[in-house]
Amino acid sequence: MASEQNYGFETLQVRGGYDPAKHNYASTVPIYQTASFNIGDTDRLKRLKAKEEQGFFYTRSGNPTLDILEKRITALEGGTSALAVASGMAAVAYSLLNVAEGGGEIVAVHSLYAGSYNLLEHTLPKLGINVNWVEDPYDIEQFREAITEDTKTIFVETIGNPLINVIDIGRIAEVAHERGIPLIVDNTFASPYLLKPFDFGADIVVYSSTKTLGGHGSTLGGLIVENGKFNWNNGKFPNFTIDDYKLQNKKVVDEFPNSAFTAKIRLHYLSDFGAVLSPFDAFLIIQGLETLSVRVEREVKNTEAIVEFLSQHPQVSWISYPTISNDKNKELAKKYFHKGAGSILSFGFKGEQESINKFLSSLKVFSFLVNVGDSKSLAVQPSETTHSSLSDENKIKAGVFKEAIRLSIGLENIEDLIEDLKQAFKKSLE
């Protein structure tokens, strides 16, 4: 497609990044299920190395199916470049390593997916990368105070997991840019249909495409998107400006002025660590993207009905969903989420663990599993599953309360979903 930025979101999610004329006029994006690509002859090799001709060598560094996925998410986000990887955690880890390698610091909030939390709290410190935690995600001054001379980025989720709190990314981006560092945001829960972080100053957006983007719980995947605006040449990121041996001693920022972040990850972390998304999995994610807006609209509508039902149920002590939570969350939801606040919520279950167990085990329509963003509705107790590895103290900081149940609302008939919750609540009392 030409001039993709001029098309609407719904058109881009179906056609973005794909020119059938370059793929034997196939209507559906082809799956290039191959490990390597025939170079042809030595003259073509010279042209490829000199960037006089675009092409692929080996799927670990690039593949046409992945390239289409990367171009499509770039178009949907309004970015300049993207990189597909094998999982959401690979996207988070590569992004943080890319900026903080060599001993930098990261500023982050506690309300994060457990995988990201454990990466920051336990794994990265072993590599000389430490985190400065912000205790109150609503206090912008705490972000400013947490930044030191060694800080390389601020990392947040646009909707926190599992607290389902909204982050003021616009103001946090201002704080980051005051100190010459980028804001990296995980937009997995929202998707670009509900929120485009680049519009509010974010520099890098990461996704677990396993969730809402793919939408069917069938495929692990991750995406990293950049907007090409951050100045990596500001003196704080020497690894972007040194002579790079993989570029014949040229600089990443010079060779890729609008895509230095993703290019550097592709050259080094993807190539050397190898968390490569398979072409078939990329194809499945592309299939999911084609229905993103339609799915999310229905899921948000269903979620709002579930929230209304739970708000009146005697066995529910509290609900965490941006449009009905505390005043700060409501204000931020109005600022950032004009199409709805997503399909994921948490609520407090009134009762002991035995009753919670009965409730979860009695669900018939909801699936009891740890994923989110599926077309199927899901339920889980984060303290016993996704965030069980956190200490009791850190669970409280992250909003992982013992009584909390997290629901991810799908596409089923809303009356069936409500009836399922009703009967499970009733069974929990037996």
Residue 63, both tokens: 């593949």
Same domain, 281 and 310: no
Residue 295, both tokens: 């799915």
Number of Cβ within a 10 Å radius of residue 402? 16
Task: Please count the structural domains in the chain.
Answer: 2
Instruction: Assign 83 to helix, strand or coil.
Output: strand
Same domain, 75 and 178: yes
Output the pLDDT for position 350.
96
> Side by side, which strands form the sheet with 316-320?
316-320, 344-349, 404-408, 378-380, 367-368
Same domain, 367 and 229: no
Same domain, 323 and 358: yes
Per-residue pLDDT of the chain (430 residues; tens, 9 = 90+): 545 668 999 999 999 999 999 999 999 999 999 999 999 999 999 999 888 899 999 999 999 999 999 999 999 999 999 999 999 999 999 999 999 999 999 999 999 999 999 999 999 999 999 999 999 999 999 999 999 999 999 999 999 988 899 999 999 999 999 999 999 999 999 999 999 999 999 999 999 999 999 999 999 999 999 999 999 999 999 999 999 999 999 999 999 999 999 999 999 999 999 999 999 999 999 999 999 999 999 999 999 999 999 999 999 999 999 998 667 889 999 999 999 999 999 999 999 999 999 999 999 999 999 999 999 999 999 888 878 877 787 777 777 788 999 999 999 999 999 999 999 999 999 8
Same domain, 215 and 143: yes
Half-sphere exposure of 132 (CA within 13 A, CB side): 18
Strands 316-320 and 344-349 come out as antiparallel
- Among 241, 272, 289, residue at a domain's last position: 289
Output the pLDDT for position 3.
55
Please report whether residue 2 resides in a domain: no
Same domain, 357 and 371: yes
* Phi/psi of residue 112, nearest 5 degrees: -135, 160
- Among 231, 255, 289, residue at a domain's last position: 289
CATH number for position 400: 3.90.1150.10
Residue 111, both tokens: 């309300």
Residues 264/252, Cβ–Cβ less than 8 Å: yes
CATH number for position 116: 3.40.640.10
Output the pLDDT for position 162.
84
Report residue 258 CA to chain centroid gap.
21
Distances from the Cα of 2 to the Cαs of 18, 80, 297, 364, in angstroms? 10, 15, 27, 47
| Domain around 189 | 8-289
Same domain, 195 and 227: yes
Residues 106/131, Cβ–Cβ less than 8 Å: yes
Distances from the Cα of 116 to the Cαs of 92, 99, 121, 142, 223, in angstroms? 7, 16, 9, 20, 15
SS (H, E, C) 122-171: HHHHHCCCEEEEECCCCCHHHHHHHCCCCEEEEEEECECCCCCCECCHHH
Q: 107: which strand partners?
A: 132, 154
- Among 289, 322, 340, residue at a domain's last position: 289
Residues 134/116, Cβ–Cβ less than 8 Å: no
Same domain, 315 and 220: no
Same domain, 224 and 155: yes
Output the pLDDT for position 13.
98
Same domain, 236 and 324: no
Same domain, 106 and 231: yes
Please report whether residue 3 resides in a domain: no
